[in-house]
Structures are given as C-alpha cells and as structure tokens.
Amino acid sequence: MSKTPDNSKATTDGHKKKAHSSTAPTGGSGGGPATAAPAPASDPLDRQLTPEELEIYPERRGGRIHKNWVERMVDREDYNKIICEKRVNDVIESSPLVKLMMSAMKSHGCEVNIRRHISCECCSDAVTGGYDPQLNQVVVCQNRIWNKGIIRGILAHEFLHMFDYCRTKFDFNNLEHIACSEIRAANLFHCSMISSMLLGTTRPWNVAKTHANCVKSKAVGSIMAARKDLSPDEAWSIVDKVFDKCYNDLEPLGRRLRANSKDMEWVYRDRFHYNYDSI
C-alpha cells in the first residue's frame, strides 16, 4: 500500500507537509507504464496487506486503534473525522491542482466519487495518508492533518498514484512500477530548490542536477518504506533503472510546478488542451 511518510518538507502548494513518499503505486510514461519490459500485471486484489501496513493503517480492514481508558475518555475521533471530511471537501472545491487530477482521471474513465474513493481514518504517527490499490481508495489520516495545505498535498500525491493505476493498470507487486509512480509524484509535486536543500541533495557543484537528485532521493525513501526487506543499494538500482523514462513523463500536468508561482492555476486552465473534463 502506498504510504505518505511523515517528513515535513516544502511543497509545490507553498505549505509544509509530510513529504509524501507514498510508497506503493507506480506510474508510466506517456500513456504506458514507464518501465523496462514489465511483467504481466497481477491483480492487486491478490495482495493482502502486510502486518506492517495493518499497523500503520489499523482501520483499513475494519480494525481499530487500541486505546487505554484515558485515551477513550478524551477521544475526539468522531469529531476529527467530521472535520477531516469537511476539509477534504473544501480542498476539492478550491484547489486547482486537485481538481486537475480529478478531471484527468474522469477523462480516463475513472471518475472520483468522494464518498467512495476517499476515506478519513486514524493512522499511526508514521504517515499522513496513502493509497490503497486493493480498494482503490485514498486514505487521509484524520489524526495527522493540521491544515488544508497538508490535505491538498496528500490528495495531489495519492491521486497521482490512482491516476497511474487508472491509466496503465500497472502491477503493484512490481518494484519498477512502484518506483516509477514515486518518481513521478516527487517530480511533479514535491521537489524544489528549497526542499532539495532540506533533503541535503543540493550542493554548489551540482545545482543543475538538484531537482533530479531530490526526486531520486524521495523515490528511494518511499520504496524502502514500502519494502522493508530492500537494501539502499537495491532501492537505488531500481530507481536508476526506470528514472529517465518516468522523470520525463509529466502527465497529467504537462509541466513541473514551481514553488510560489501560479503554475497550479495554469495547469488547470490548460486542461482542455489535454481533453480533460471540467470538475
């Protein structure tokens, strides 16, 4: 399952949020999976959540977070869920970037039903959100969000994974597919000069490669969060193998967003050039 680890970094929305190293889905290049000779895709429903994933998302399969009697007395879970759902609604109504992602999926035959495809739930402290390909749902962690900027980043990132799944029907058990979607998400939504400096991927002698290095670093972190048995060398090898093709796949935005710019408004305005429907 794609995760959104808890690393507060600068984002294209101009807010601080958990750098969405969503760790499961993956994307493609120009309409097809951006991978080298992909194996036949397996049904994602065949893959059950691991114990680690169930620990991070305890409510994904009808479970609950275990609380002691003090926590139960001061519990605001129902209230937090209502607030989360309201904020999600507000972001969908107001964010050009989120609306663009939804219109792109609608145009590919995967229209988003807010009540069906977005779920506010309690999660562990390790994540702020994720994408569950088994249920085709975006999880927004109601106990880990503080403002609409965080929700905006979660929805944009996880909708990209949902878009990749809709567009290419890729295999969530294929690490190259996972790496590709993580590369695309970091490329389109997260990596800027500021965030790469915070990540330590920018040096005076490699400014020209700053963005690519940031994208690679985030993708590697996401893959390792999803697959605990992978070594750093193995994760880097997978990312390097698919990087060029996936890095140059800018669908559905058509451009890399610049921080503190009007790019988000412009990509939504330009959606008709890609035959995307209005939302």
Burial 143-174 (b: 16+ CB within 10 A, else e): bbbeebbbbbbbbbbbbbbbbbbbbbebbbbb
Q: What does the radius of gyration of the chain's CA atoms come to, in whole angstroms?
A: 18
Cis-peptide, bond into residue 33, ω within 30° of zero: no
Determine the Cα–Cα distance for residues 45 and 48; give it in Å rounded to an integer.
Answer: 7
Q: Tell me, yes or no, if 251 is annotated catalytic.
A: no
* Whether the Cβ atoms of residue 122 and residue 58 lie closer than 8 Å to each other: yes
For tokens 């695309």, name the residue. Answer: 184
- The catalytic residue among 53, 59, 121, 158 is 158
Helix (H) or strand (E) holding 224, with range, is helix 210-226
Q: Outline where DSSP puts E strands in the chain.
A: 2-5, 8-10, 16-18, 28-29, 32-33, 118-121, 127-132, 137-141
Determine the Cα–Cα distance for residues 228 and 219; give it in Å rounded to an integer.
Answer: 14
List residues with catalytic annotation: 158
